[in-house]
Amino acid sequence: MNYIFGFLIIISIIAGALNGRLQEVVNAVMDGAELSVKVAFSLIGIMAFWLGMMKIAQKSGIINWISKILKPITKILFNEIPSNSPAVGDIAMNFTANAFGLSNAATPFGIKAMEELQKENKNKKSASNSMCLFLGMNTAGFQLIPTTVLAVLVSIGYKNPTEIIAPTLIVTSIAFLSAIVLSKIFQKFYPAQNIESGAENE
């Protein structure tokens, strides 16, 4: 990514110099830098508010309550691992925290879930179907409350920032369901037993 941005900057400077608009390029860089600082500072208040609200939800037990509701669904989706595996609870907590914008709280649960899934994995050199499914679902980024996007819209003075909630919910829901469906389809082509038998032959 650093190479890509570096390439874009160099191309912009060269293009500006060739077209006699190098000063405009420099002005755009300075304006962008100034705007980024303003946005960063304006994000502090709204981010503190939403993270505080999410922390209250966590401390009050709302997130734990929701994760208990999701646990039976988690067992069905991750049917390759034992139903009493600690990974089931960690996965439910991870997605619940992500859905409410608690990314800081979701990360430890995600790491712990992957560690537990690796313990259940017969072939330690390759990711299991459950690990791939979990990664796909996590990457889809399902969110009920897009905290970061709301904060950015508020910081730039958008009149109705909450109107992004419905589109975000629709898009992330589609991505989330697509990740599940595609993972389950690919599991048919790459079943766990084939991976395990391949590991044993090695």
Residue 7 lies in a domain: no
Residue 156 lies in a domain: yes
Residue 187 lies in a domain: yes
Residue 47: the pLDDT is: 63
Amino acid at 146: P
- Report whether 161 contacts 154 (CB < 8 A): yes
Residue 53: the pLDDT is: 67
Residue 92 lies in a domain: yes
Please tell me the number of Cα atoms within 13 Å of 42 on its side-chain side. Answer: 16
Question: Can you read off the two tokens belonging to residue 5?
Answer: 């941005």
Total domain count, the chain: 1
Residue 110 lies in a domain: yes
Going by pLDDT thresholds of 50, 70 and 90, the confidence category of residue 19 is confident
pLDDT digits (tens, 9 = 90+) for 93-123: 788 777 776 666 677 778 888 888 888 888 7
Share of the chain above pLDDT 70, in %: 82
Going by pLDDT thresholds of 50, 70 and 90, the confidence category of residue 195 is very low
- Averaged pLDDT for residues 41-46: 68
Residue 15 lies in a domain: no
Going by pLDDT thresholds of 50, 70 and 90, the confidence category of residue 196 is very low
Total residue length of the chain: 202
Q: Does the structure show a pLDDT above 70 at 81?
A: yes
- Averaged pLDDT for residues 42-63: 69
Host domain of residue 126: 56-201
Going by pLDDT thresholds of 50, 70 and 90, the confidence category of residue 13 is confident
Residue 121: the pLDDT is: 84
- Averaged pLDDT for residues 145-153: 73
DSSP 127: -
Q: What is the mean pLDDT of the chain?
A: 77
Residue 76 lies in a domain: yes
Residue 194: the pLDDT is: 43
Residue 201: the pLDDT is: 43
Please name the residues in contact with 10: beta carbons below 8 A apart, sequence gap of 6 or more.
Answer: none
- Averaged pLDDT for residues 55-74: 74
Going by pLDDT thresholds of 50, 70 and 90, the confidence category of residue 163 is confident
Separation of CA 19 from chain center: 41
Residue 50 lies in a domain: no
First to last CA, the chain: 36
- Averaged pLDDT for residues 48-56: 68
Angle between helices 86-99 and 129-140 (to 10 degrees): 10
Question: Can you read off the two tokens belonging to residue 194?
Answer: 């084939």
Separation of CA 98 from chain center: 7
